[in-house]
Structure 1
Amino acid sequence: MELVVIGSSNVDLVITLPKIPAIGETVLGGKSAMIFGGKGANQAVTAIRSGGDVAFITKLGIDIFGENTKAHFLREGFPEKYILKDQHEATGIAQIFVSAKGENSIAVAPGANMHLLPADIQPFEAEIKKAKLVLAQLEIPIETVEYIAAFAARNQVKFILNPAPAQTLSDALLKNTWLLTPNETEAEILTGIKITGTDTAEKAAELLLQKGVQHVIITMGENGCLLHDRSGTVHYKAYREKAVDTTAAGDVFNGVLAVAITKGFSFANAIETASAAAAISVTRHGAQSSIPYQDEIEEYLASAKNT
């Protein structure tokens, strides 16, 4: 495997309602949906759909949600041996209420995700050593992320961390990170610098480099992204599309970016490809339902170059 993604898997249970229920209130709703999610899963599915050679290490519960999720992963083409099961914890669940006004209320039970521990990763160390890249996020225990980063660094495997959901990180973890990909909010939490434009984004990225990260890409939504490393700073514009749902756009960017790097793309070409994929995703509803395939990304890029 050229790319190993390690992270969370959730099932999102979505109910649309006239309004969000108050405490003690029952509101009869409209449509309901069960949607596959979790940042790790979103990025892994993106990576495999964009033509990556991908293993996804994740942990599910022994329940109907876990069985459905595993079947979904096998259909996507992931090797089964990396899809772990927890004997005691349920599959991660997010219960989402969406009002007619577009407001939402979300409750998350991480379940088996928070029991993906270093001991679960150790049986796959030989495969990880052979990988070109490891990609992780922060919906699994931080001790596991730190273990993975340190192992990758010892074995000269490039480690990408998408630091989401936002939280502070140890200097040791940052020193073992080859590429960090925060959004504006996450960069502010990591550095204390409020991102108001490319100037402040560069200052935040420089501070992260001083902490030991080799490369930083700060994503800024419709304002594109900023790449900063010891060779300099480059601001890349975003492809502009009318967004109907930005769910998982950041995950799509990270998944495609990782695959492009394993294929030997320069940062410029990898970011261009990842930005195109993210632009496609915001024109579609849902998380994994919005993720494009390789041929769609290639067609989009070809069309963009001809306009």
Structure 2
Amino acid sequence: MSTLALHRAVLRDGTALPYAEAGYPGGTPVVMLHGYTDSWWTFEPVLRRLPTSLHGYAPTQRGHGDADKPPEGYLPEDFAADAVAFMDSVGIDRAVLVGGSSGGVQARIVAGRYPDRVAGLVLLGVPATLADKPAATGLWERVRRCEDPLDRSFAEEFASGMTEAPVGRGFLETVVEESLKAPARVWRETLRGLMETDLRATLAGILVPTLVVWGDKDPLLTREDQQTILDSVPGSRLIVYEGTGHAVYWESPERVVRDIAAFAHQVFPPRSG
């Protein structure tokens, strides 16, 4: 198991983001971007299992967890700009970007706009779009009425729906605790940004190698949705995790690590000599 180290990065605009670091310092840089209401903790099962060939970074994004919570900046393009600023802050010139759930939206924005910074893109249960999904519309109807303090039972219901098979109770409780650190306005504005942005447009112009991972029991994303990504990103490849729900990296962290490591070796081979 890899050892985690916790740090804090200060972006050029002064926003402070906590981040977890794991793996081998000489390994391929892998930057993991979490999804809606999560924090770096959502990647803890993956970070703990990183091989020496990888050097993982998982920042908590603005407004979430223990990150700074500025009054604005919660559109997908804002989170994408933060991801690039984070890489600058910690000295990463080029990395494999891994996006979990909606974190894959900002990851693909970065890949499309800054291809020189991205060796490869891994999308773990990432939507092509949300506008056509009743589950997303239903979530918005509940979130837009949220007020502080957030209802813990709602956060628990939301988190528990991310997997098909049960995950460790302690892990899930921590995920819920982390989500409750985001104030109601961040829940609202982040989801509003995802719902109102043309997410299909963020698939345009991605030319870096792309791996798409999807659980076939995902209650939100269909095979057709994932096909939209494959049709939009030249040369992209799909791996289906049978019997797995939305958060494949919670349910099957060992397999996710293996697939990321194999992909990273292909797109960012180790230097010889």
Answer yes or no: same fold by TM over 0.5: no
If asked which structure has higher relative contact order (CA below 8 Å, sep 6+), I would say 2
TM-score interval w.r.t. the shorter chain? Answer: 0.3 to 0.5
Report which of the two has the higher share of strand.
1
TM-score between the two structures when normalised by the length of structure 2:
0.35
Q: Which protein shows a greater Rg? A: 1
